[in-house]
Amino acid sequence: MLGTIFRMAEDLIKVVGTKEEIYQGLLPQIKALVIEEADVIANLANTCAALKEAFGFFWVGFYMVKNDELVLAPFQGPIACTRIQKGKGVCGKSWALGETIIVDDVEKFEGHIACSSLSKSEIVIPLLQKGIVIGVLDIDSTTISAFDSIDSNYLNDLCIWLSERI
């Protein structure tokens, strides 16, 4: 059809560099995507996809609080457990504490819920609205000690920003 302009699918501009540089290049792109769209599921889904694409994490996903349980929400990666009780696993503990948890070696975390034996380390960041946890962002890596304060700082910034918009 001559003269028709097709809007191409969104593409991430790939950032190459240190972990910090990747976050610095990626977060504004995620925020620009989210700000254009009002649908929560679409925004959480694209956030997972962008993080997975940029860093190659094994699993990236959200669990949202529903009827006093965390329930699996948009994610990227292998299938995962669908419901987590408060205080259980890394996700349930982050929910109970309202704090970010970094686990260097999941085998050493008492009560860790193993959705895949390939997952070796993990970071969980709570989504807070007025001090109440409404969900968590969970990221798993196949390498030990994959996450540190750089991840925690940038992902917290992202989750605070997202929480204000969902």
Closest CB to ligand SME among residues 59, 147:
59
Give the 3-state secondary structure of residue 161.
Answer: helix
Indicate whether 58 belongs to the interface with ligand SME (CB under 6 A).
no
Rounded to whole angstroms, the Cα distance separating 32 from 56 reads 21
Query: What residue type is 146 in one-letter code?
Result: A
Q: By CB under 6 A, what part of segment 74-93 binds ligand SME? A: 80-81, 84, 89-92
Q: Which of 138, 147, 158, 162 binds ligand SME (CB under 6 A)?
A: 138
The answer to whether the CB of 159 falls within 8 A of the CB of 125 is yes
Closest CB to ligand SME among residues 42, 80:
80
Q: By CB under 6 A, what part of segment 108-127 binds ligand SME? A: 112-113, 115, 119, 122
Q: What are phi and psi of 46, to 5 degrees?
A: -70, -35
Q: By CB under 6 A, what part of segment 20-39 binds ligand SME? A: none
Rounded to whole angstroms, the Cα distance separating 123 from 99 reads 11
Q: How far is the CB of 157 from ligand SME (least distance, A)?
A: 22
Closest CB to ligand SME among residues 67, 117:
117
Query: What residue type is 36 in one-letter code?
Result: E
Rounded to whole angstroms, the Cα distance separating 27 from 33 reads 10
Residue ranges of E strands in 11-164: 59-66, 69-76, 83-85, 101-103, 121-129, 132-141
Total binding residues toward ligand SME, as defined by CB under 6 A: 15
Residues that bind ligand SME (CB under 6 A): 59, 80-81, 84, 89-92, 112-113, 115, 119, 122, 138, 140
